[in-house]
């Protein structure tokens, strides 16, 4: 029986939810970048319509109706403030925008920082972060489960002679001479969680579970997600020959930046979540 503590499970779910939030935020950010103000009003109208059941609710129209009455006084005030300003000074101000970003005055650069940052985030930065975070949650979850089991039942370390031997080596000093803790930590550390074959082997020896992934498609999906994470972290997301060989990735050529539709990443995150529940319920 696999024993998963409440704290370990909650930490796993929390990190997967964070990964999911990143992928969703990427989508909404891109929608806003493409549709701008129109997307914002559409969202607000849908929200109010759902909350108050107002079918014909249009907040934008309401605001415009009330603001039109103030438009003329505002225009007059702007005209008054601009009176007496030399045209040359206005021209010089406008010319600054013809410079590169680094050449702009620091006050303008400061104001432009949020816009520049959002521009970088639209290049699937958040969705790549979601992949990395989800895989980290998966690997930490497996190690936490095995560590906890070894602490409760130290005899299972005997199934792994290489770990048993290390527990009495100089590595023991890291754990203040506590052999039981040393064995549990070393066993968890020795799990190559990025290799599904290693995960299967460990769970078979510890829990007598023939295949912790239960089905080959689940194992392939998890393995592929891990390979995508490696590609992002170690190759900047650029498709490599090794990545194509391991994943049979055919949608993009070698040298292309991997494309990660947010819905596809959300499905992969849910696969990781279902696998975790399988482990918890095993």
Indicate the burial class of 263 (C-beta count within 10 angstroms; 0-12, 13-18, 19 or more): exposed
pLDDT at 109: 74
Give the integer Cα–Cα distance in Å for 63 and 188: 59
In a domain, 60, yes or no: no
Convert the chain into a string of H (helix), E (strand) and C (coil): CCCCCHHHHHHHHHHHHHHHHHHHHHHHHHHHHHHCHHHHHHHHHHHHHHHHCCCCCCHHHHHHHHHHHHHHHHHHHHHHHHCCCCHHHHHHHHHHHHCCHHHCCHHHHHHHHHHHHHHHHCCCHHHHHHHHHHHHHHHHHHHHHHHHHHHHCHHHHHHCHHHHHHCCCHHHHHHCCCHHHHHHHHHHHHCCCCCHHHHHHHHHHHHCCCCCCCCHHHHHHHHHHHHHHHHHHHHCCECCHHHHHHHCCCCCCCCCECCCCHHHHHHHHHHHHHHHHHHHHC
- The domain of 198 spans 6-23+124-281
Higher-scoring residue by pLDDT: 232, 40: 232
Q: What is the pLDDT of residue 134?
A: 97
Q: Is residue 95 part of a domain?
A: no
Mean per-residue pLDDT, 248-269: 91
User: How confident is the model over 179-202, as pLDDT tens digits?
Assistant: 788 888 889 999 999 999 999 999
- Count of domains observed in the chain: 1
Euclidean distance between CA atoms 36 and 32, whole angstroms:
5
Contact between 13 and 272 under an 8 Å Cβ cutoff? The reply is no
Q: What is the pLDDT of residue 78?
A: 61
Measured torsion, CA atoms of residues 63, 64, 65, 70, in degrees rounded to the nearest 10: 100
pLDDT single digits (tens) 20-63: 999 998 988 887 777 766 766 676 666 666 666 666 666 566 55
For residue 145, being part of any structural domain is answered with yes
* pLDDT at residue 119, rounded to an integer: 67
Over the stretch 62-83, which tens digit does the pLDDT of each residue have? 556 655 665 566 667 666 666 6
- Which residue, 179, 127, 144, 177, is CA-closest to 11? 144
pTM: 0.75
Q: What is the pLDDT of residues 76-129, one digit of tens each?
A: 766 666 666 555 655 566 566 566 667 777 777 777 777 677 666 677 889 999
Residue 44 resides in a domain = no
Predicted local distance difference test score (pLDDT) of residue 113 = 76
209, 145 in Cβ contact below 8 A? no
Euclidean distance between CA atoms 137 and 12, whole angstroms? 6
Give the model's pLDDT for residue 203.
Answer: 94
- The yes-or-no verdict on residue 222 having pLDDT over 90 is yes
pLDDT at position 132 is: 97
> Is a pLDDT exceeding 60 seen at residue 272?
yes
238 backbone dihedrals φ, ψ, rounded to 5°: -90, 125
Confidence (pLDDT) at 234: 94
Indicate whether 33 belongs to any domain: no
For 129-173, how does the pLDDT look when each residue is reduced to its tens digit (9 = 90+)?
999 999 999 999 999 999 999 999 988 988 888 877 765 666 566
Q: Please indicate, yes or no, if residue 62 is contained in any of the structural domains.
A: no
Residue 45 covered by a domain: no
Chain center to CA of 246 = 23
Domain-located, residue 114: no
Q: Is the CB of residue 266 less than 8 Å from the CB of residue 20?
A: yes
């Amino acid at each position: 029986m696999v024993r998963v503590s409440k704290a370990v499970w909650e930490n796993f779910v929390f990190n997967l939810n964070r990964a999911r939030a990143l992928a969703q935020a990427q989508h909404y950010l891109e929608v806003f970048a493409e549709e701008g103000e129109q997307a914002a009003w559409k969202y607000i109208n849908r929200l109010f319509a759902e909350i108050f059941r107002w079918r014909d609710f249009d907040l934008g129209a309401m605001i415009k109706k009330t603001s039109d009455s103030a438009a003329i006084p505002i225009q007059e005030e702007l005209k008054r403030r601009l009176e007496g300003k030399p045209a040359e000074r206005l021209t010089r101000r406008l010319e600054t925008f013809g410079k590169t970003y680094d050449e702009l005055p620091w006050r303008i650069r400061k104001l432009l920082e949020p816009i520049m940052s959002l521009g970088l985030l639209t290049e699937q930065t958040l969705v790549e972060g979601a992949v990395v975070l989800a895989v980290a949650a998966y690997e930490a979850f497996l190690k936490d489960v095995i560590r906890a089991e070894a602490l409760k039942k130290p005899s299972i370390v005997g199934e792994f002679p290489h770990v048993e031997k290390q527990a009495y080596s100089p590595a023991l000093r890291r754990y203040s001479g506590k052999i039981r803790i040393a064995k549990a930590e070393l066993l968890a550390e020795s799990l190559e969680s990025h290799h599904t074959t290693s995960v299967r082997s460990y769970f078979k020896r510890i829990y007598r579970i023939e295949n912790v992934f239960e089905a080959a498609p689940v194992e392939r999906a998890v393995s592929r997600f891990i390979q995508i994470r490696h590609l992002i972290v170690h190759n900047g997301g650029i498709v490599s020959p090794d990545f194509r060989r391991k994943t049979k990735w055919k949608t993009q050529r070698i040298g292309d930046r991997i494309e990660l539709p947010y819905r596809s990443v959300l499905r992969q995150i849910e696969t990781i979540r279902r696998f975790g529940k399988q482990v918890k319920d095993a």
